[in-house]
């Protein structure tokens, strides 16, 4: 992969099977087993033959309706979901925030979870401990909560700590899935300002968001996905405009199948 690329996606497809049995009782299962029948499944193609390159320093926004494949793509880039076909190549250290609080140990304090998050991101213990107070200060929890078990946190408090850990890692590539919606209005403003700082540092950032104003404000490129396929790739304003038209009339571009 060329050195100027942070991410290369080559003919990526991701498929998985889901159970379509409507009756999941023990009796039903035993009857099927006695007949030698397997559980009925159907294959879902979450990503369909996606190819794209993302240069270092790009800020990419991904838009699309629920079920479009946005989060599946992010998890595949992060290395959580392996491709069914094709491949993804990543050049750089990744920090992810794909679901608020995922990976937290609810029995441990916020401070301990900051350390765990840093270690999981590849930092050594001394490095993450030197940043812990800074991260805790950015999260700006009510007095005393940073040293309380995270099971006592509200969802907004989870989001504050998770976001603070993710952006503090100084990654080459940052993946954010609806992460900028965490917290109250004051913390959201702080989050946007932090994101602008990271953008100015020419880090590669990929953002999934239903907040289209966020895509317009922060990104220099956007893609629109629909049912696992790439519909449009271009400047955020143009992509958002076409996506909004689709939301109003439900009609895809005439050249959709050629994209």
pLDDT at 259: 46
Tokens 């571009």 identify what position?
253
Tens of pLDDT, residue by residue over 120-174, are 777 788 888 888 999 999 998 889 999 999 999 988 888 888 888 888 877 899 9
- What is the reported pTM? 0.82
pLDDT at 35: 60
Tens of pLDDT, residue by residue over 77-99, are 999 899 999 999 999 988 887 76
Gap between the Cα atoms of 135 and 159, Å rounded: 13
Q: Which residue has the higher pLDDT, 22 or 135?
A: 135
- Please state the separation of Cα 62 from the chain's center in Å: 10
Question: Which stretches of 80-217 are assigned E, i.e. beta strand?
Answer: 85-90, 94-97, 173-177, 204-208
Report CA dihedral (57, 63, 67, 72) to the nearest 10 degrees: 0
Give SS3 for 166: helix
Residue 73: φ, ψ to 5°: -60, -45
pLDDT at 127: 85
- Going by the DSSP 8-state scheme, the letter that residue 56 receives in this structure is T
Which of 63-72, 175-184, 236-245 shows the lowest mean pLDDT across its residues? Answer: 175-184
Gap between the Cα atoms of 22 and 5, Å rounded: 46
Q: Can you give the residue ranges of every domain in the chain?
A: 107-167
Helix, strand, coil distribution of the chain in percent, nearest 5: 40, 25, 30
pLDDT at 53: 97
DSSP letters spanning 20-36: --S---HHHHHHHHHTT
């Amino acid at each position: 992969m060329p050195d100027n690329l942070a991410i290369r996606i080559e003919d990526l497809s991701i498929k998985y099977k889901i159970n379509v049995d409507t009756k999941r009782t023990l009796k039903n299962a035993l009857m099927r087993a006695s007949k030698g029948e397997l559980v009925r499944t159907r294959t879902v193609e979450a990503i369909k033959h996606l190819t794209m390159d993302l240069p270092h320093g790009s800020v990419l926004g991904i838009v699309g309706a629920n079920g479009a494949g946005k989060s599946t793509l992010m998890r595949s880039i992060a290395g959580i979901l392996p491709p069914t076909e094709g491949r993804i190549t990543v050049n750089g250290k990744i920090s992810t925030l794909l679901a608020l609080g995922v990976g937290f140990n609810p029995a441990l304090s916020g401070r301990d979870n900051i350390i765990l998050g840093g270690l999981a991101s590849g930092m050594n213990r001394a490095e993450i401990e030197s940043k812990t107070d800074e991260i805790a200060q950015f999260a700006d929890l009510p007095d005393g909560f940073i040293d309380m078990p995270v099971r006592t946190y509200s969802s907004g408090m989870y989001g504050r700590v998770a976001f603070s850990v993710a952006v503090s890692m100084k990654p080459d590539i940052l993946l954010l899935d609806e992460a900028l919606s965490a917290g109250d209005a004051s913390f959201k403003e702080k989050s946007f300002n932090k994101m602008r700082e990271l953008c100015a540092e020419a880090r590669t950032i990929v953002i999934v968001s239903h907040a289209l104003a966020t895509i317009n404000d922060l990104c220099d490129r956007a893609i629109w996905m629909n049912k696992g396929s790439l519909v449009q790739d271009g400047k955020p304003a143009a992509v958002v405009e076409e996506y909004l038209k689709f939301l109003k009339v439900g009609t895809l571009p005439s050249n959709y199948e050629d994209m």
